[in-house]
Structure 1
Amino acid sequence: MAALQKIRSKGVLLLIIIGLGLFAFIAEEFVRSIQTTTNESRQVAGEICGKKITSMEFQKMVEEYRDALKFMRGNTTPTEQENAQTEDFVWQSYVNYQLIAKECEKLGIRVTDKELQETLAKGSHPLLAQTPFVNQETRRFDVKALKNFLTEYQKMQNNTSEVPEQYAEQYATVYKYWKFIESTLRKNILEQKYQALLANTILTNPVETKRVFDENNTTSDLIAVSFNYNDVPQDKVKVTESELKNKYNESKERFRQYIESRDIRFVAYTVEASEKDKKDLDEEMAKFAEKMATSDDLTGVVRMSNSQIPYTGLWVSKNAFPNDIQAKLDSVKGGITGPYYEIADNSENIIKLMGSIQAPDSIQCKMIQVGGQDIEAVRKSADSIYTALKNGAVFDTIAHKYNQQAQEQWIVSNQYETAANMDENNIKLLNTLNTTATNELKNVEFETGNLIVLVTDRKAITTKYNVAIIKRPVTFSKETYSKAYNDFSRFLANSKTMDELEKNAVKEGYQYQMNNEVYANTHFINNITNTKEALRWLFNDDTKVGDISPLYECGDNNTLLVVALNKIHEKGYQPLEDVKSTIEKEIQKDKKAEYILKDPKVSQLKSLAEARANGYKIDTLKNVAYNGITFVPSTGSMETKINSSSAGKKVNDFVGPIKGENGVYFYQVIAINKNSEAKYDEKEMTSNVRTQLLRNIQTFGSDLYLKGNVKDKRYLFF
């Protein structure tokens, strides 16, 4: 009780202490939650319809698509431009699907498993033709082949220890690709459903289709009377601020900007080889030319030279080489050509041609692989098989005896000609195939075994070459780059403001450039590669107008770049100030038309004869189509309104006034030309008209984009 009384006596103090402790706890949790939220927001690469996608999620989608491309095209290394195109495609596909999926959810549209299975059973969807499950005879998707594969894959998953690692990897790769196709197919079906719903809102009728057919197959010959806007004095068409504001408000939707952009000023300097660098390369190439002339190991010499074109000793067609080498091959007579300079790719080159042959571009063949306990047994078995086949034995029968299918396969030059590396066995086999006649049999010996090869067909005979090439770019040395880097750094250190940047650039001999409206989804600055860091700086929230970036090393490690932020264009409507010149020109054009038509002789012009009597400018315009565009010599302008107004007019009709792009026009129809060869097909024309009308509602996609409040922040990560 005494203890309890003591606690009560300190009640107020305890409450304060407990309160402070509780506040500290809550504050700590609050700060932690803010940090967590902030960190999460920093990882957001984009947002569509309130749904956020993190950089890791987007990267995963990109990698899945890249893996699919590798599966379809082979393991090629993409360029930076190709990577950028892939990222854009994946992003745009994701955005389009999310926007449509949102609408479909409200409409109750979905794709059921049954619908997916029906699509697979039909096998006609274009995506399915991109799978390995295509029947080679019918060239159509075979759902049975897919089901067999999935069954086999499931068995392998249940018995992983009994499956060779190589087979398991191959099956896993195909399965992963199929799951990508399946997911894409489901999304595509949903998008097609939504598009079909929109398409069914478009109707046409026989009267409209016949009218469109007639207009498409009719042109007019006109004699036009022109009044050029340039003849109106500028002081007669002054534009007030209120007129600018009114015109801006009338046409505001034209100036909606969907993506944030920024105006920049920048200096980019590309480092080039010095005279000393060029001289050093010349001396080095001369030494390699001597080695190529005397060495028996051309592969080693070419490898040692760091040539951009490897030498394998294969017989290859011109297509294996760059265009400049292709153009040179026919003029090379043998021996050594070069070193010589090639201006097209700024390179030094040496060519050694060993010979040329006439060989097929495509070779069809069968093979039997021969193995054994030791190399002696292999050779003996191979000789036995070869002798039997030469004496009339059936190739497939012998192959089956050795548990091999020996299926015919086509080998095409472009499958191997550009390979950077190739082992000696493959080189020996391919050179054998290139020099073997149709129905000829060969016993090809390798270190560890033999191949019995039968060539069954040869197609597209072409010239193939055995040629070794050393191609070296004329590039700068480390010393040259270091000097350029130090000079550029010194220039940047002395340029604290945009004015100083411009002034010092001119002084130091650098080019001061501008690029207005660099968009947030841009991948390169001024088409310079490897500028991602510069773009991240440019669109960072901390970067302010007038700021100057650090020095960036870009391009192929050969470009020095500095960027200055000149102006920010936020997402939304462009302000009047940014579009003032465009609106002012439009108002001036309208006022010039009004000024011209104030003259009653012009506004009340009724005939061509009257125009000639008044000495007005006249042009003859031939074959004017209503949906085309016409050049008017008197005004030097391309005009569409003359064309659109010509529909349905008759010979001798006098039309005008028409307010065009660069003048006011009147015209008289002097001939109607009909395409007598065109035959009206109502069904075909109805389809064409519907297609055209569907194009006109594509702006609905822009409405969905705005409604979805799409935010693209990929530039922060990619």
Structure 2
Amino acid sequence: MTILKKIRNKSLLLVMVVGVALFSFIIGDFLRSGSAFINQKKENIVVINGEAINCQDYQTRVEDYINNAIRNNNNQPLTDDEQYQIKQMILNEMIDDILLFKEAKKLGLVVSKEEYKDLVMGDNISPLLQQIPSFRNPKTKKFDKTALLHFLQNIENEDYSTEQSSRLMSIKKAWLAIEKQIIKEQLKKKFNTLFTYSILTNVLEARAFYEEKKINVDFDYVAQSYNSIPDREVNVSDIEIQKRYNECKNLYRQKEGALVDFIALNIVPSKKDYQMIENKLKELKKQLESSKNIAEIIQSNPDILYTNAYITYNNLNESQKFLIEKNHAVGTVGIPILVNQTFNLYKFEGMKTAPDSIKLNAVMIPSSMEEIKLKHLSDSLIQVVKKGTPFSDMASTLSKGKTTGELGWMTESQLISRLDIQFKDKILTAKINEPVVIKSNIGIFLVQVLEKTKPIKKYKIANIQIQVVPSQETKTRLYNRFIQFISSNHSIADLRENAKSSGFSIQTDVEISKDQININHIQNTRQIVQWIFNNKKGAISDIFECQNSEYFAVVAIKEHLREGFRPLKSISSVLKRNLINEKKALKLISDLKVKKLNTLKQYAEAMNTTPQSVQSVNFATSYISGIGKEPILNVKVPEAPINQISGPYAGKNKIYVLYITNKNISKEPYDTKCFLKQAQIQNMRWICQIIQSPEFLRENIKIDNYFNRFF
């Protein structure tokens, strides 16, 4: 009882304690789930009207595309800039896919099961499937529906071993991606068709199309530039600039971006670096003069480039020709010649009479089998060709349609660059039309020489090339000098004021967009663009190393630009220039009218210029010869009277006075049907441009882009 009484007395306190504990439990769970929610949001690259593209999903798609690109490029790695282009392309595709499916759903556009079946196995096979090499006949290279149907049957077969099942799952995954693409392309086709046929061409447009080109005019003219009046003679107030901005700010829209100052220091070799290479070449020259085995010299100097081939006289450069023309004997070594940071040292090794080029077929034989089986396969393939089967058919069957083996004509140098010396030597001595197996460093080939050119005198000149590159000492000295300058200047104003005196070239007010690949065509500067959009106004970056260590670069953020209208201060100079030109035009025209001139010659003297002539201009002429784009002339010329002075007219950068010399009015009668068709073609081009634009589906859509956080 005592205990119960104590509990009752403390009930309020107990409720409070339990309540606090319960609240802590709930809020703790909420915070944990909230943390997971926040982390999940942080993994989103883009959010389109609430629908997100997750980083992991995106990265998987990018990696698949990059791996395919590398495979299709003979396993050559892609540059950073190429990889970024792929990333940007995949991102745009994923955004457009979301927008397309949203719009298709609103419009009720779907791909039915029957329609999909027809695209995959019916009478209207998707073009996407028809382009896949596996579904093409190896001989005809045309789409083979039987191969497609056989594939579809196989992926539905469940009777496979564990090892085969794993491979089958991978194939099924790839097929699901193809299915999605087929449906997307069909939806896109429907959407584009709907959009295309929703824009109609009427008879008024057809008539306008006819009238625009009906009158073609030849004329003489004189022009006077606005620069003939100094700017100081024209006043433009801030109020006028503000008014003009309010009138035309829609013309000055901008994407999210930044204004930066940019310093790029080119890392070039020092005099000491050149001297080191020259000393090395002097030693090499002695070795080349005394040694008959160039291969040993090359092996002990891995930075040397050397082509071991005989070439014709016409393919020699001037330095090589000089070496053999001046009665230089075989074995002569020339002096080092510097060309674009690369020293060339030539040795006349020999000459011979031999074919310059050979025409050949070649196909790689699978070498992952036992030697006995490999020999059996090689012998069988040789017999197949000898018995009359075209080499291209045999190669196509062996490679499963990937190649016909037709390499065409190749020189000795090309054989070395594509394969190796061992391959080159054996191929040059092979008999015509006699298939032979040749081993090279990159594999085993079945080769057939078809033709050889007539023997011609050829020369073998060793070309020892050594590129002069900045030493680590040079790079360190440049880096220390650069970092000392950056450390001594803590603001953009300081950088601008002191860059030139310190020996650095600074580019100011460089406009950068978020999706920009590089800055000023310097490779590997995407890392700098990413830094810009992850830092605040006024920040100065550390030193970046760019373009395979050819540049040190630093960037300072002057201002971040929001998406929307450009602020007045950023375009006030442009608006002011336009207003100044307009006032100059009024002044020039007014001064000329006061003089009451009557002939083009008089106008030419008053304007201190000479008359020029133009032929065949109409309302639709996009570019006027000798003038360029000048819309005021397109408007005035067709309506101006013949053999009379017209103007002056104010153009974009000049005023013009015209004298119409000839008018050619088309006698072609107006045919509604004909010109309606021409107007439709013109409109169709315009529609295609709209559809192909990435902005087509993005207008009035809220897109939150966090791409720069990741890439």
Q: TM-score range by the shorter chain?
A: 0.7 to 0.9
| C-alpha distance 650-183 of structure 1, shift in aligned 2 (>3 A) | farther
Describe the superposition over 1:594-642 as per-residue Cα deviations: whole angstroms up to 9, x where unpaired. Answer: 5566689479x9x965995997656543332433356698xx8852320
Check conservation: 1:49, 1:99, Cα contact below 8 A: no
> Counterparts of 2:15 and 2:231 in 1: how far apart (Å)?
82
Indicate whether 1:566 and 2:558 are aligned. yes
Change (3 A) 1:196 1:278: same
Q: Aligned pair in 2 of structure 1 residues 511, 696: CA closer, same or farther (>3 Å)?
A: closer
Correspondence for 2:269: 273
Cα distance, 1:550–1:506 mapped onto 2, change above 3 Å? same
State which drifts further: 124-133 or 658-667. 124-133
Pair 1:709 & 2:702 matched: yes
1: CA distance, partners of 2:429 / 2:544: 53
Q: 1:187 aligns with which of 184, 188, 198?
A: 184
Q: Deviations over 1:166-225 (max 9, x none)?
A: xx98x9998776665554443333223222222112333577557636755863112446
Distance in 2 (CA, whole Å) between partners of 1:378 and 1:34 is 63
Equivalent of 2:150, from 148, 151, 163?
148
CA distance in 1, matches of 2:63, 2:709: 18
Q: Deviations over 1:79-118 (max 9, x none)?
A: 2232232223222333333333322221112334544454
SS across alignment from 1:706: coil
Moved more, 409-418 or 488-497: 409-418
Q: 2:31 & 2:304 partners in 1: Cα distance? A: 56
Report the alpha carbon displacement of residue 474 of structure 1 after superposing the two structures with TM.
0.9
Asked if 1 retains the 8 angstrom alpha-carbon contact of 2:648 and 2:657, the reply is: yes
Find the aligned partners of 1:452 and 1:547 in 2 and give their Cα distance.
62
Distance 1:241 1:58 in 2: 49
- Write the deviation string for residues 459-488 of structure 1: whole angstroms up to 9, x where unpaired: 999999988655432112222222322332
Judged with a 3 Å threshold, the aligned counterparts in structure 2 of structure 1 residues 4 and 185 are, in CA distance, closer, same or farther, namely same
Q: Secondary structure at the match of 1:221?
A: strand
1:125-179 Cα shifts (integer Å, max 9, x gaps): 377435443335544333322333444566698235479xxxx98x999877666
Q: What's the offset of the Cα at 1:76? A: 2.0
Structure 1 partner of 2:570: 578
Which residue in the other structure is 2:499 paired with?
A: 505
**Aligned partners of 2:486, 2:365: CA distance in 1, in Å?**
68
Gaps of 5+ in 2: 325-329
Please tell me whether residue 622 in structure 1 is matched to residue 580 in structure 2: no
> Structure 1: how far apart are the matches of 2:564 and 2:233?
35
Aligned equivalent of 1:524: 518
Does the CA contact (< 8 Å) of 1:632 and 1:638 recur in 2? no
Secondary structure class of the residue paired with 1:672: strand
Q: Which residue of 1 aligns with 2:327?
A: none
One-letter identity of the residue aligned with 1:498: I
Aligned residues: 687
Distance (Å, rounded) in 1 between the aligned partners of 2:266 and 2:65: 34
- Check 1:49–1:690 CA distance in 2 against 1; reply closer, same or farther (3 A cut): same
TM-score scaled by structure 1? 0.77
- The counterpart of 1:667, out of the listed 644, 658, 672, is 658
Displacement of 1:442 = 3.9
User: Residues 328, 11 of structure 1: CA spacing in aligned structure 2 closer, same or farther, 3 A cutoff?
Assistant: farther
Say yes or no: does 1:552 pair with 2:544. yes
Q: Which amino acid aligns with 1:306?
A: P
Amino acid at match of 2:57: E
Give the counterpart of 1:243 among 236, 240, 245.
240
Q: Are the aligned partners of 2:217 and 2:616 in contact in 1 as well (CA < 8 Å)?
A: yes
Letter in 1 for 2:546: C
Q: Letter of the 1:195 partner, please give it.
A: N
Q: Note if contact 1:222-1:621 (Cα within 8 Å) is conserved in structure 2.
A: yes
Which SS does the other structure have where 1:707 is aligned?
coil
Give matches, 1:70-469, under 5 Å: 70-119=70-119, 121-122=123-124, 125=127, 128-129=130-131, 131-152=133-154, 158-161=160-163, 181-204=178-201, 208-209=205-206, 212=209, 215=212, 219-224=216-221, 229-230=226-227, 238-258=235-255, 260-288=256-284, 301-302=297-298, 304-307=300-303, 309=305, 340-344=336-340, 346-350=341-345, 357-358=354-355, 362-364=359-361, 394=387, 409-411=405-407, 428=422, 431-442=425-436, 454-455=448-449, 457-458=450-451
Deviates more, 1:587-596 or 1:102-111: 587-596
Identity percentage over the alignment?
A: 23
Runs of at least 5 residues in structure 1 that lack an aligned partner in the other structure: 319-323
Give the secondary structure class of the aligned counterpart of 2:302: coil
SS of structure 2 residue aligned to 1:76? coil
Amino acid in the other structure paired with 2:507 = Q
Give, in whole Å, the separation in 1 of the partners of 2:291 and 2:228: 78
| 2:312–2:459 Cα contact (<8 Å) kept | yes
Between 608-617 and 498-507, report the one with greater CA deviation.
608-617
Corresponding letter in the other structure for 1:86: I
How much does 1:411 deviate?
3.5
Asked if structure 2 preserves the Cα contact closer than 8 Å seen for 1:316 and 1:413, the reply is no
Give me the whole-angstrom Cα distance separating, in 2, the residues matched to 1:296 and 1:150.
64
How far apart are the structure 1 equivalents of 2:666 and 2:299? Answer: 65
Distance in 2 of aligned mates of 1:6 and 1:415: 106
TM-score (norm 2): 0.78
**2:81 and 2:524 in contact (8 A); partners too:** no
Distance 1:713 1:502 in 2: 31
Give the letter for the 2:630 counterpart: E
- What is the distance in 2 between the residues matched to 1:182 and 1:454? 42
Contact 2:201 2:680 in 1 (8 A): no
Q: Counterparts of 1:669 and 1:336 in 2: how far apart (Å)?
A: 73
Distance between the aligned counterparts of 1:637 and 1:119, measured in 2? 50
Deviations 1:439-473 (A, max 9, x none): 234465899x9987554x45999999988655432
- Change beyond 3 A, Cα 1:616–1:144: farther
**Cα contact 2:209–2:675 (8 A) shared by 1:** no
What CA distance in whole angstroms lies between the structure 1 residues aligned with 2:604 and 2:545?
Answer: 67
Q: Identify the residue that residue 56 of structure 2 maps to in structure 1.
A: 56
**Contact 1:123–1:141 at 8 Å: present in 2 too?**
no
Choose from 668, 677, 682 the match for 1:689: 682
Computed over aligned residues only, the root mean square deviation of the Cα atoms, in angstroms, reads: 5.2
Question: Matched residues in 1 for 2:641 and 2:453: separation?
Answer: 59
User: Contact 1:367–1:454 at 8 Å: present in 2 too?
Assistant: no
Q: Decide whether the 8 Å contact of 2:47 with 2:704 is kept in 1.
A: yes
> Offset at 1:265?
1.8
Distance 1:274 1:715 in 2: 37
Closer/same/farther in 2, CA of residues 364 and 458 from structure 1, 3 Å limit: farther
Whether the 8 Å CA contact 2:362–2:446 is kept in 1: the answer is no
Contact 1:247 1:583 in 2 (8 A): yes
Aligned counterparts of 1:236 and 1:270: Cα–Cα separation in 2: 44
What is the CA–CA distance in structure 1 between the aligned matches of 2:602 and 2:553, rounded to whole Å?
62
The change in CA–CA distance for 1:601 and 1:437 in structure 2 (over 3 A counts) is same
Deviation at 1:78, TM superposition (A): 1.5
Aligned partners of 2:226 and 2:654 also within 8 Å? yes
Distance in 2 (alpha carbons) for counterparts of 1:262 and 1:578: 12
| Whole-Å separation in 2 of the counterparts to 1:510 and 1:208 | 58
Structure 2 counterparts to residues 456-495 of structure 1, below 5 A = 457-458=450-451, 470-495=464-489
- Report how far residue 564 of structure 1 moved: 1.5
**CA separation in 1, counterparts of 2:574 and 2:471?**
49
Q: How far apart, CA to CA, are the structure 1 residues paired with 2:620 and 2:498?
A: 53
Q: Quick check: 2:288–2:333 contact (8 Å CA) kept in 1?
A: no
Q: 1:10-65, CA deviations, whole angstroms, 9 ceiling, x for partnerless residues? A: 12222232233234334434543454344334333223333222333322222222
